[in-house]
Structure 1
C-alpha cells in the first residue's frame, strides 16, 4: 500500500481523486485532454490522480493503437476515467468514507470575532424559539 501525504489523504476522502485508487489492479479506459485514450491496468495511483498503467494501449486521434509495457498519466491530462460496469462504485465509495479521529482540541483563546459570532448565533436561536412559542396556541 502506498503511503499518502496528508494532502493526498484529504483529496482521496473528499473528492473523486479516489477513483484511480479504487480501480487499482483493474483494466480501465482513460480519455485524455488531447483527444487520445489509454487502456490498461492501473498499477500505481496517488491522491492527485497520477496513474501508472501496465500492459497499456495508447489510442491516438486517428484510431491507431500503440502498445506500451508501462504508461504514466499525469493528473492534468485526464479528461475522463471510464468506470467498469461490473464495479459497484457506490459501495466502494462508502468503504473509503473518512472515519472521525479522536483528536483532542487544544485550548486556544477565542478571538473577539468568534465570541461575537457565537453570541449572535445564540440570540438568533432564542428569537426563533420565542417566535415559535408565540405562534403556538396557548392551552387553557
Structure 2
C-alpha cells in the first residue's frame, strides 16, 4: 500500500484521479499531449496522476515504437487514459465509492459539503457511463 499525502488522498477521493490508482498492475494505453502514446503496465500511480509504467512501449508521431523497461509520465502530459476493454470501470468506481462511504460510517464523522458534492459528481459520472453503455449495446 502506498503512502499518499493529504492532498493526494483528497484528489483520489474527490476526482477521477483515482483511475490510475485503480488500474495499477494492468496494461493500459496512455495518449500524451505531444501526439505520442505509451502502452505498458502501471506499476506506480499517485494522486496527481503521475504514472510509472513497466514493460512500456513508446509510440511516436510517426508510429515508430521504442521499448523501455520503465517509463514515467508526468500528470500534465496525459491527454487520455484508455481503460482496458475487459475491465468494467463502472463496477470499479462503484467499489471505490462504497469503500469511501464505508469509511464515514465506521468513524462516525460528518461529511463536508465538498465531500457530498464530490460523491454526487462521481455518481453522475457513473450514470453517464451506464447510459453510454446502454447506447453502445443498442
Q: Smaller-chain TM-score range?
A: 0.7 to 0.9
2:96 corresponds to 1:90: no
Aligned partners of 1:12, 1:2: CA distance in 2, in Å? 13
Aligned partners of 1:6, 1:95: CA distance in 2, in Å? 21
More helix by share: 2
Gapped runs of 5+ residues in structure 1?
A: 105-140
2:49 corresponds to 1:43: no
Deviation above 2 Å: which 4+ runs of structure 1? 101-104
Question: What is the aligned partner in structure 1 of residue 53 from structure 2?
Answer: 53
With structure 1 as the length reference, what TM-score do the two structures score? 0.71
- Pairing of 1:1-140 with structure 2 (within 5 A): 1-97=1-97, 98-99=100-101, 100=104, 101-103=107-109
Q: CA deviation at 1:96?
A: 1.3
Aligned partners of 1:88, 1:65: CA distance in 2, in Å? 29
Aligned partners of 1:12, 1:23: CA distance in 2, in Å? 13
Measured against aligned partners, the alpha-carbon deviations of 1:49-92 in whole angstroms (never above 9, x if no partner) come to 00000000000001000000000000000000000111111111
Q: CA deviation at 1:3?
A: 0.9
Aligned partners of 1:50, 1:86: CA distance in 2, in Å? 23
Structure of greater Rg: 1
Q: Give the 3-state SS of the residue equivalent to 1:90 in structure 2.
A: helix
Aligned partners of 2:89, 2:83: CA distance in 1, in Å? 8
Measured against aligned partners, the alpha-carbon deviations of 1:80-112 in whole angstroms (never above 9, x if no partner) come to 0000111111111111122324237xxxxxxxx
Gapped runs of 5+ residues in structure 2?
A: 111-138
